[in-house]
C-alpha cells in the first residue's frame, strides 16, 4: 500500500462530503429562486460558502484539496479535484464572493405637534348697577343786572325844501274897471278885458323881484321894480303873497302924457312841482292928480306860468 493511502482515502471522503454540500446548495438555490426571495438566497449562499471554507480548512491538515467555486447570476456550480503531492496544502482558486449587505431602513421618529394650550380669560366679575340716586339741585337764582340804558342823541335834520326855479314867466288874463268911492257909496264901472304878462326873479323861497305889463283896449300900464314876498313856508305848495311896484300908465285920450304911480297887489300861487304854477291876483293902481280918471284902477287876473333854472 502506498504510504499516502490513508491520506488519499481521507481526501476522497472529504471530496464526497463537499459534493453533498454543493448539491444541497444548488437545490436550495433552485427553491429560493422559485420563491423569488433574492435576499434570502444571497444569505444562504454566503452561509454555505463559509461552511465549505471551514471544512476545507479542516481537510487541508491531511491532504491537498483544490476547490474551485464558480458563480453566476442564475446559479452556482462548484468543482473540485484532489491531488496527491509531497506537500499538503489547500489552494482556493475562485474569486472573492461579495455579499451586498441588506439596506437598513431607519424609520424617522414621528413628529408630534403639540397644540398650544388655549388659556381662556376669566369672565369679568358681575357688575352690580346701583340704583340711581336723584338729588334735586338747589335752585339757582341769578340776579339780572339792571338794563343798561344807552342814551344816544340823534339829530334829525329837517328836509331842506326844494329851491324854487329861478326865473318864472306867467300870463294872466282878466278884467279891469274904474273904482269910485264917494261918501257911503262904492262903485265899479267901465269893466273891460285885460291881458297881463309878467316876469319874476325868485331869489329865495320867500322873496322875488317882479315886472308886469297890463294891456287894455284904451290904455297901458308898466309895473317895474317890484318886490314880491310870500307869506307861507318855503315848502308849501299853496303860498299867498303881497307885492308892490312902481307903475307908469299911458292912455289913448292923452297920448303924450305918462302918469307915474304905484300899484299894490295880493294873490295866491299854487305850485305843481318845480316848473309849473297857477296864479290869481288882485291889483290896485294909484295915479296922482286928475290926469287919468278914465284909466281903470282895479284889475283882477287869473293865469298860469312856467319856471326855469
- String of DSSP letters for 157-205: PPPPPPPPPSEEEEE--EEEEEEEEETTEEEEEEEEEEEEEEEEEE-SS
Q: Is the dihedral of CA 292, 298, 303, 308 positive or negative?
A: positive
- Within 8 A by CB and 6+ apart from 188, the residues are 177, 178, 179, 180, 298
Domains of the chain, residue spans: 5-92, 167-308
Give the full edge-to-edge strand order of the sheet including 91-92. Answer: 76-82, 65-71, 91-92
Third-level CATH fold of 167-308: Porin (2.40.160)
Per-residue pLDDT tens over the stretch 52-109:
666 555 554 444 444 444 444 434 444 444 444 444 444 445 666 666 777 776 777 7
Per-residue pLDDT tens over the stretch 96-133:
666 677 777 677 777 776 777 777 777 777 777 777 77
What SS3 class is residue 23?
Answer: helix
Q: Give which of 306, 307, 299, 305 is closest to 195, Cα–Cα.
A: 299
Q: What is the pLDDT of residue 30?
A: 61
Q: What is the pLDDT of residue 66?
A: 42
- Other CB atoms within 10 Å distance of the CB of residue 97: 13
C-alpha cell at 301: 287876473
Amino acid at each position: 500500500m502506498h504510504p499516502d493511502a490513508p491520506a488519499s482515502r481521507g481526501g476522497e471522503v472529504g471530496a464526497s462530503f463537499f459534493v453533498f454540500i454543493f448539491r444541497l446548495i444548488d437545490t436550495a438555490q433552485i427553491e429560493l429562486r422559485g420563491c423569488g426571495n433574492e435576499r434570502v438566497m444571497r444569505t444562504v449562499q454566503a452561509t454555505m460558502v463559509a461552511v465549505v471554507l471551514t471544512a476545507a480548512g479542516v481537510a487541508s491538515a491531511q491532504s491537498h484539496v483544490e476547490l474551485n467555486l464558480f458563480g453566476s447570476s442564475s446559479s452556482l456550480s462548484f468543482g473540485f479535484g484532489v491531488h496527491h503531492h509531497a506537500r499538503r496544502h489547500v489552494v482556493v482558486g475562485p474569486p472573492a464572493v461579495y455579499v451586498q449587505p441588506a439596506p437598513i431602513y431607519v424609520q424617522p421618529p414621528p413628529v408630534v405637534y403639540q397644540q398650544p394650550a388655549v388659556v381662556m380669560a376669566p369672565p369679568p366679575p358681575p357688575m352690580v348697577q346701583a340704583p340711581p340716586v336723584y338729588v334735586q339741585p338747589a335752585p339757582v337764582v341769578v340776579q339780572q343786572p339792571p338794563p343798561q340804558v344807552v342814551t344816544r342823541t340823534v339829530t334829525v335834520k329837517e328836509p331842506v325844501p326844494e329851491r324854487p326855479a329861478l326865473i318864472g314867466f306867467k300870463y294872466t288874463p282878466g278884467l279891469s274897471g274904474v273904482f269910485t268911492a264917494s261918501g257911503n257909496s262904492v262903485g265899479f264901472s267901465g269893466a273891460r278885458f285885460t291881458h297881463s304878462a309878467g316876469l319874476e326873479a325868485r331869489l329865495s323861497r320867500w322873496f322875488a323881484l317882479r315886472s308886469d305889463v297890463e294891456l287894455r283896449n284904451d290904455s297901458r300900464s308898466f309895473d317895474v321894480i317890484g318886490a314880491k314876498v310870500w307869506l307861507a313856508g318855503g315848502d308849501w305848495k299853496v303860498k299867498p303873497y303881497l307885492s308892490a311896484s312902481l307903475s307908469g300908465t299911458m292912455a289913448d285920450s292923452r297920448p303924450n302924457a305918462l302918469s307915474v304911480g304905484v300899484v299894490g297887489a295880493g294873490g295866491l300861487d299854487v305850485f305843481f312841482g318845480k316848473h309849473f304854477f297857477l296864479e290869481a291876483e288882485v291889483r290896485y293902481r294909484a295915479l296922482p292928480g286928475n290926469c287919468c280918471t278914465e284909466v281903470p284902477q282895479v284889475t283882477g287876473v287869473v293865469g298860469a306860468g312856467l319856471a326855469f333854472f
